[in-house]
Amino acid sequence: MYIYNVTINIDESIHDTWLTWIHQHIPEVLATGKFVNAKLTQVLVEEEMGGITYAVQYQAKSREDLDSYYKDHADSLRGDALQKFADKIVSFRTELKIVNEFYPK
């Protein structure tokens, strides 16, 4: 399993608008069929630059699904956020490979 993590810092002036938008955007990403679930989390840290930071974690079954997402869907879905929010958001992406999962006994 792989996690595609998108961390976004949102200017407070557009926070409510962005939050409404992301609740519509995540289902669009999931509709590509490349991810099995997604989590929207708020990062609990005060940024020096201000704003409110979130991370969205999309879980893919395989590297192939993730690569296919990049090839067929990522540019158009990323472009939507840039068009709507331009210089009011800053984001970066990371990939994680799940090595093992542990649960309490």
Which residues fall within 8 angstroms of residue 6, CB to CB, at 6 or more apart?
A: 55, 56, 58, 91, 92, 93
Name residue 42's beta-bridge partners.
Answer: 54
- Is the whole model's pTM more than 0.85, yes or no? yes
Cα 99 from chain centre: 21
Say which CATH class 2-97 falls into.
alpha beta
Which helix (H) or strand (E) segment holds residue 94: the answer is strand 89-97
pLDDT at 100 over 90: yes
Residue count (the chain): 105
Q: What value does the mean pLDDT take over residues 17-22?
A: 96
Q: For the chain, give every domain's residue range.
A: 2-97
Give the whole-angstrom CA distance, residue 15 versus residue 27. 19
pLDDT digits (tens, 9 = 90+) for 36-73: 999 999 999 888 888 999 999 999 999 999 999 999 99
- Specify the pLDDT at position 86: 86
- Give the per-residue pLDDT at 47: 80
What pLDDT does 30 receive?
98
